[in-house]
Amino acid sequence: MVWMYFQMIVGYLFLAAGTAVIVLSCWNAMRAVQSRKWPECSGTVITSALEETRSEGEYLYRPAVSYRYVVGGDELVGKRVRFCDSFVLTRRSPASRIVKRYSAGSAVVVRYDPDDPGESVLEPGLNSRIFLSGVLGAVFLVGGFLTVFNAA
């Protein structure tokens, strides 16, 4: 009996996590599609570094890029290379490529939201990470449904 309740709680947690990840993926996909139509301006990369952290004996990598751009006389700073880029990578090379592509001092084309110029991106449009996060959310959702229905 206790095991059944435990399974149901775990199942509901998976359902909640899956739903949250899918909602976030859909939001990122919507913003990514919109960003292809945002106005462009020129910018300059301020910092570009590979952040390295260690978690459970494994190294995780994240490209940390910031850039400066001007919209309507206001100087702004952006940090988004592409949508859904806040995830860390377990392999060094993809993150390193982004850092090399956007080296400090280099000129970049910045797309910014005309309704909120502080919202910007260097690589507009959909990318594989958005789709992968949606798939991950779906896996959690299906796992949650199976766990709840098996417990009942």
Looking at every residue in the chain, the average pLDDT score rounds to 93
- Confidence class for position 58, pLDDT limits 50, 70, 90: confident
Torsion over CA: 79, 82, 83, 86 (sign):
negative
Residues 134 and 76 in one domain: no
Which pLDDT score, from 0 to 100, does residue 93 have? Answer: 80
Residues 61 and 119 in one domain: yes
Domain, as residue range, for 53: 39-123
Which pLDDT score, from 0 to 100, does residue 87 have? Answer: 65
What's the domain count of the chain? 2
Q: In whole angstroms, what separates CA 149 from the centre of its chain?
A: 32
Residues 116 and 52 in one domain: yes
Torsion over CA: 55, 59, 60, 64 (sign):
positive
- Confidence class for position 88, pLDDT limits 50, 70, 90: low
- Confidence class for position 89, pLDDT limits 50, 70, 90: low
Residues 14 and 60 in one domain: no
pLDDT cut 90: percent of the chain above it: 76
Residues 63 and 103 in one domain: yes
> What does pTM read for this prediction?
0.85
Q: Are 39 and 114 spatial neighbours (Cβ–Cβ below 8 Å)?
A: yes
